[in-house]
Amino acid sequence: MAVQILVADDHPLFRDAIKSAISVPLGDDLETPVISEAGDFGSAMTVLNENPEMDLVLLDLSMPGSSGLSALVSVRAAFPAVPVIVISGTDDVTTVRRSVELGASGFISKSARMEAIRKGVANVLAGEIALPEGMNLGSEHDPEIEDLIRRIRTLTPQQARVLGMLGEGLLNKQIAYELGVSEATIKAHVSAVLQKLNVDSRTQAVILLSKIGADMLREDQD
């Protein structure tokens, strides 16, 4: 059986490296994967909408159209049955831990060797969690972030999708169009999100969301 994998990263050379690493059977009963590609977050969501039976997503957190871990929140909310492996050049324990706490099934560093990439993907396809070798995730040291992650995890899937889209800068009418519901419904979702995050405005919600991956984004931009 061939599995379907989406590689979402804005660097063509890295996408090629990932494809080269995983273009082999990744399990005893599996054929060589069918690999799709996306170079920005919007394209990744389009691929997933067209192929909701995707078996795995490898998601770069710093693509155009995404804002750090809000991309992960959006994908997990829209496609809860599809496992996601975060791929990032920033592989500190804080980024890895927050990725897993927000629903990632694994984390692969962009500096990982091909064998490690292949093993991580195979492990997640087998239902395991894939982490950098020898990493102990520990616990969150920032009480504000710990509370924010806890609050995000109380959101319903639709509310989490709305929050992710707010993080992408979409207006209520745009979110309503994307989700196929009325603008009034989106306003109700936004109100519920603000209440659960204990903030007064969508701007404050977006600022809070950006804090989760702020350190990672700064390092990626250096």
Angle at 106 (CA atoms; ends 123, 81), nearest 5 degrees:
85
Assign 221 a pLDDT band (cuts: 50, 70, 90): very low
CATH value of 4-125 in 3.30.9.10, 3.40.1160.10, 3.40.718.10, 3.40.50.2300? 3.40.50.2300
**Cα(70)–Cα(170) distance, integer angstroms:** 13
* Residue 156 scores a pLDDT above 50: yes
CATH class as words, domain 143-221: mainly alpha
Return the C-alpha torsion angle 172, 206, 11, 100, nearest 10: -110
- Alpha carbons within 13 angstroms on the beta-carbon side of residue 76 total 23
- Beta-ladder partners of 133: none
Assign 129 a pLDDT band (cuts: 50, 70, 90): very high
Average pLDDT value for the chain: 86
| Domains of the chain, residue spans | 4-125, 143-221
* Residue 60 scores a pLDDT above 70: yes
Q: What mean pLDDT comes out for the span 43-67?
A: 89
Q: Are 62 and 217 in contact (CB under 8 A)?
A: yes
pTM reported for the whole predicted model: 0.80
* Residue 140 scores a pLDDT above 80: no
Question: What percentage of the chain carries pLDDT values higher than 70?
Answer: 94
Strands 34-38, 84-88: pairing kind: unpaired
Question: What percentage of the chain carries pLDDT values higher than 90?
Answer: 47
**Cα(136)–Cα(131) distance, integer angstroms:** 9
Q: What mean pLDDT comes out for the span 163-182?
A: 88
* Residue 214 scores a pLDDT above 60: no
